[in-house]
Chains A and B, each alone.
Chain A
């Protein structure tokens, strides 16, 4: 019997599986030179599948169980769906009317693949970089782990129903880690001697290569005329940056790990107990941020459609009929007690995360003020890839202004928001996916 070729080889495991362990140039690393003592800026995104319960105005439950609040602006009224987020009102904005334009005609389940990328997948399933990876590439080498990619199901899944929401700069799905214990070990515990040696060797080889090339380019430079030198200088600058990344990755190998007490976190969880499991995943991200082990995280809380064990979460939790998350989203008979309650449940877990970040002091403010957190789905109701339900929270120190429900008169590209967020992370991007402008209304000034 042949070895199934889908088994990941060693290198793939090192590269992927949730934590990009910064091989020399293979994965996301920083783009700019590090700015020494500034307060770190973090980004995290949390996805759930199948949209949310939005009973029509005629429906008896419209008043209480419509995910989007009633009335917009600062005086919006939360329904029971998002009620648990009420304590964070001043730290969050609810966004309506945003979606990726090229996906609006697709059956909504596909948007899981493009939720953070905005790629056009109408013709084929070639994806592009997700916003968390763009940010990780820009500032990822300032931390030991460039980015954290998690999902409750794990892995990559099937194209168009991916079980990861992160895609690298070449548009390839990044396998997500689902085992909290492994996440903890990779984040906070010394790798095995073998792993460490392999990484050291890879980085040494990387450094050797880049150094050689730099010297190569420099000796070539002396032989060129001025206009040609200017072109070669782009080679030199690029190589310089690559070298910087390799060196910083090497530096991380020698640095002491943050002291995190295993007892402080409940790793004895599994998706069979969804609440503990989801909270532990949130805890891990909060810890990773708090210790400045990473500054970028993407967590697919639940997958799209009926994919994976996470589809069974509402069944395990006994919300509504036992038909799974996707089933609930099609349950016309009693959407509220199943779907609506589950919406509320997922928002409650996110509120838990925000509360954690709000408790940690950092510099003049709170960890939450230095963290931008996006929570939402890629469809409004199931199969409807418009008006994504989205909550944007935190990031006051990055210049974000909160406290409102911002609706749109007409459907607007989510890329607008992503571009504005990228700029808050000092990424000099000019566009993101199919954006048509920026989203300045989220800014304080």
Chain B
């Protein structure tokens, strides 16, 4: 009851402007309570005359809570005592609620300073320097806060190890971006002659006319610098090797590595390319399919880079695999930063410790296919480091070409420009002077201007002004500065620093204009960078990481593998992206007539006609029994125990994430429901749950949880619909009990299964769902656990959201316009 009051579902808010003073309350307590709970008697060990009425500094909060509970339940004062007047009871409860709110506000003040998450740090550094290097993997993993969000400042801790890693990464990043001296020599070569081992050839590619950097001359008897790992004629395979590539896939290898695809062009290098941008170009065509071949089958050119090890290879796919539907040779380009792939160990290189490049056809492998779609490759070109100009743009965008500035003036300009971007807002004169002092000291010890500037820019990259948000704390007023606002928007939707357009609007002070802000939000959502919000928010809101923790029983559910589990997670993410980008109603999350699937997930759901690994929107018909996140395999599987659906987990999940009514944790020492216990063996799951909750002190909460979860019963542990098809067959092997998904919700409403539940949610809990969504998005947008004030602000947006047709972008705009979002 109290919890309900606090989370705001109570219809009688205590937000009147006139606060109730204790002086008005004391006489009521004296009249009705002190007789039994005072100097004369102290029933239940409670003396109200001794309770500290200051709930902020006092220590009696729990006792006052008890008083409020009793008043609400209505069993105090007891029936045999004189009844409390209605106004008095109201006054007393009002005072209690008001003081408890004050205490909650005082004890949980809003925080706004938080460090960047690992992901935000990486993306900010990438954008700042124009370097697509995955720096974040080197940092310790971020924690997850109580509310499940990983950008919550409460969970983002700092440690010496973490700080040292920042110091180290700053040096490495600047070393990669800023160069000294003339262009280095470049490894440029072409591999060709794949049709026969003896024709295989490696030739140096001459330096293009307008490009800097000399090409290495390779004095190579070929076996020396390169080792060929091309497929040789497979001994036990009827398909002879003719240099063309039928579909093939990287194979899992039970020994800490993968194996190369069976059909591939692959070369190991006796040089390791450890750093820098690399360009790989592949000249490829499809082999003309024989008459009668399946016209929908097309080869896909795919490039992997990595290293060999004792057992196999560590290989990652680089760039986007490309469909090759032409018979003439065309050139495809793939880019990779060497820092992002597994490189060989330091030390002498050999076959088992070499860099490796592989090209293959990643079209789906179909067993027994007579005419698979084949890829042919004329040549593969390699270039590392790859740069168009020297110095590269990563260098000139920081160390801009200097026309006529003296060294200190130039340094000052470089540092100011860089720090302004890195700090996501103006740098004060005092700050700049300090940085200049640092540079002057560094310059004395450094042989080069570049070296000294790198030292000072590294300081910028390790400052709390860069590593944390918001950064312009010089302002102690409540409102965020324009630049802080730009940052908050940018980290909310992009998980990175503001781009030029946002920064400029902040400079001009225009972001406070709702129309301007709204246009920016729409622009930002259209931008590919919004993929960060689209991925991270639903992942954390709907706890999709549960999928990783469930061990699906392989005997019960054959064919559930990593790619399918990954597809489950991606469905929810793509679905969220669709709702956002198409600006649909948030009620699509509860019920929709479409979803997003790839081939694997479509097969799992029994949706026909979906080819390929790309996710796409598909229309759902009634017989699919899908629609909305409740029916997503990610949610159903994540909230199972790997053998059966788990009604308690599912019920908890729904209450917590869709209604924001998290039930309290179970009391300590409550045993788990043991499904193997003989007592429960012959019971259906609803019966077993009933037995469980009736036998223990759990009934109060579980009455509120279990019905929600039991309504999911038509879906098994991996999200199969159990009333027909494969789901029904699998179920037969587990149990002969009938499916019972008919439940009575705490409100008294009776619903049958998820479709009934969804209807009921939309009908009776629409505002609760709006409120929950607003709070979840608010928490993510602010990067903090919501304070009472934040929650109030989110809740107050419910009518506005309703008015705007519950559109998701409208919700984002409302949050961005809210007082907490605009304030510290």
Contact = CB atoms under 8 A, between A and B. Distances in A.
A4 interface: yes
B459 A213 contact: yes
Contact of A125 (B257, B352, B441): B257
Most chain A beta-carbon contacts within 10 A, residue among B255, B345, B352:
B345
Contact of A212 (B307, B459, B467): B459
Contacts of A175: 346-347
Contact of B347 (A157, A209, A238): A157
A110 B346 contact: no
A110 B309 CA distance: 11
A238 B158 contact: yes
Given A170-B138, A209-B455, A235-B158, A227 B347 contact: no
B675 interface: no
Contact of B442 (A6, A205, A234): A205
A160 B309 contact: yes
B140 to A, nearest CB: 9
Contact of A220 (B109, B274, B348, B465): B465
B445 A204 contact: yes
B111 interface: yes
A253 to B, nearest CB: 16
Nearest to B307: A159
Interface in B565-598: none
B167 interface: yes
Contacts of A124: 256-257, 314, 342
A272 interface: no
Contacts of B346: 6, 8, 12, 16, 155-156, 173, 175
Contact of B271 (A2, A107, A121): A2
A122 B311 CA distance: 12
B168 A158 contact: no
Given A110-B256, A159-B310, A217-B464, A31 B109 contact: no
Contacts of B307: 159
A423 interface: no
B309 A158 contact: yes
Interface string A118-148: 0001111100000000000100000000000
B309 A125 contact: yes
Nearest to B220: A1
A151 B682 CA distance: 62
A216 B465 contact: yes
B491 interface: no
B421 to A, nearest CB: 17
Given A6-B348, A212-B434, A224-B473, A234 B158 contact: yes
A122 B160 contact: no
Contact of B462 (A137, A155, A156, A209): A209
A223 B273 contact: no
Contacts of B824: 225
A426 interface: no
Interface string B329-352: 000000000000010111111101
A201 interface: yes
A9 to B, nearest CB: 10
B781 interface: no
B111 A220 contact: no
A318 interface: no
B131 interface: no
Contact size class for B? 35 or more
CB-CB nearest 7 A-B residue pairs: A228-B113, A25-B164, A155-B347, A234-B158, A241-B160, A159-B309, A238-B163
B185 A242 contact: no
A260 interface: no
Given A1-B219, A209-B459, A215-B434, A238 B109 contact: no
Interface in B518-554: none
Interface string A215-241: 111001001111110011011011101
Contacts, number: 179
A37 interface: no
A44 B307 CA distance: 32
B345 A173 contact: yes
Contact of B314 (A125, A170, A212, A217): A125
A24 B110 CA distance: 36
Interface string B156-171: 0111111111011000
B476 interface: yes
Interface in B275-308: 307
Interface in A363-409: none
Given A159-B344, A213-B462, A234-B157, 7 more contacts: A124-B256, A158-B350, A159-B345, A160-B255, A206-B167, A208-B441, A227-B109
Contacts of A239: 163
Contact of A170 (B165, B167, B272, B442): B165
A206 B314 CA distance: 35
Contacts of B114: 231
A347 B723 CA distance: 66
Contacts of B425: none
Q: Please classify the interface of chain A as helix (H, G, I), strand (E, B), loop, or mixed, using the class held by over half of its residues.
A: mixed
Interface of A: 1-2, 4-6, 8, 12, 16, 24-26, 31, 105-107, 109-110, 121-125, 137, 155-163, 169-170, 173, 175, 201, 204-206, 208-210, 212-213, 215-217, 220, 223-228, 231-232, 234-235, 237-239, 241-242, 245, 305
Nearest to A1: B219
26 contacts: A2-B271, A6-B272, A6-B347, A6-B348, A25-B168, A121-B256, A125-B257, A125-B309, A155-B345, A155-B346, A160-B311, A170-B165, A173-B346, A201-B445, A205-B455, A209-B455, A212-B438, A216-B465, A220-B464, A220-B465, A223-B473, A227-B109, A227-B111, A234-B157, A234-B159, A235-B158
Interface string B470-483: 00011010000000
Interface in B246-270: 254-257, 270
Interface centre among A125, A163, A226 (most CB of B within 10 A): A125
B187 interface: yes
A205 B310 CA distance: 40
Contacts of B187: 2
A212 to B, nearest CB: 5
Contacts of A217: 463-464
B160 A242 contact: yes
Interface string B427-449: 00000001000100110010000
A429 to B, nearest CB: 12
A124 B441 CA distance: 44
Contacts of B345: 155-159, 162, 173
B159 A238 contact: yes
A12 B175 CA distance: 14
Contacts of B157: 234
A208 B309 CA distance: 41
A124 B812 CA distance: 39
B353 interface: yes
Contacts of B462: 209, 213
Contacts of B390: none
Contacts of A206: 167
B497 interface: no
B353 A158 contact: yes
A362 B342 CA distance: 46
Contacts of B434: 212, 215-216
Contacts of B342: 124-125
B113 A232 contact: yes
Contacts of B465: 216, 220
Nearest to B435: A212
B391 interface: no
Contacts of A210: 167
Contact of A161 (B163, B310, B455): B310
Of listed A110, A121, A215, A216, residue having the most chain B CB within 10 A: A216
B630 to A, nearest CB: 31
Contacts of A26: 164, 168
Contacts of B438: 208-209, 212
A169 B165 CA distance: 10
Contacts of B445: 201, 204-205
